Amino acid sequence: MAPIAVGDVVPDGTISFFDENDQLQTVSVHSLAAGKKVILFGVPGAFTPTCSMKHVPGFIEKAEELKSKGVDDIICFSVNDPFLMKAWGKTYPENKHVKFVADGSGEYTHLLGLELDLKDKGLGIRSRRFALLLDNLKVTVANLESGGGFTVSSADDILEAL
């Protein structure tokens, strides 16, 4: 399957997360992003070094600036279960704007065409690292990394594109 690209409408699918009342929610991506400008950034794994020390902190640190440029929501996405994503999110007490969501089975990652085979590292099929800017479900920026790289999908890269 070809990866999601600029001009595509993001496919609908379900993701899970814990809401502000600590209730597990499973919702459609379209219900979260319709009518909004949303950053959806994906990481290969929670608690992994590049994801935890570079990718996520960048979006947390730049969240106010991103919002000042019209971004409604910032969503961190990974092929993990929602309980793990909740625990990972709690390791960033300064976070006020990044929502941590789970694609537990990798089905939505498949719909995006962004699967990354990390079986040789004991991680199974994960998501490639990426950052998408969606405007009312349409992809306006698609910064997709190769392998485990971190060269085009940072918060600064999205800020430059806004």
CATH code where residue 149 lies? 3.40.30.10
Residue pLDDT, tens place only, 14-63: 999 999 899 999 999 999 999 999 999 999 888 876 777 788 999 999 99
Domain extent for 13: 8-161
**108-115 mean pLDDT:** 92
pLDDT for the residue 31:
96
| Choice among 33, 40, 46, 51 that is catalytic | 51
Q: Collapsing DSSP states into helix, strand and coil, what is residue 39?
A: strand
Triad 112, 11, 104: Cα angle to 5°: 60
- In 3D space, the residue among 7, 10, 5, 74 whose CA is nearest the CA of residue 43 turns out to be 74
- The answer to whether residue 2 is domain-embedded is no
pLDDT for the residue 141:
97
Residue pLDDT, tens place only, 112-139: 999 877 778 777 677 888 999 999 999 9
- The answer to whether residue 114 is domain-embedded is yes
Catalytic site includes residue 76: no
pLDDT for the residue 116:
73
Partners of residue 144 on adjacent β-strands: 130
Residue pLDDT, tens place only, 53-96: 788 999 999 999 999 999 999 999 999 999 999 999 999 999 99
Could you write out the DSSP letters of every residue in the chain? Answer: -PPP-TTPBPPP-EEEEE-TTS-EEEEEHHHHHTTSEEEEEEES-TT-HHIIIIIHHHHHHTHHHHHHTT--EEEEEESS-HHHHHHHHTT-TT-SSEEEEE-TTSHHHHHHT-EEEEGGGT-EEEEPPEEEEEETTEEEEEEE-STT--SS-SHHHHHHH-
Number of domain units in the chain: 1
Triad 113, 82, 132: Cα angle to 5°: 35
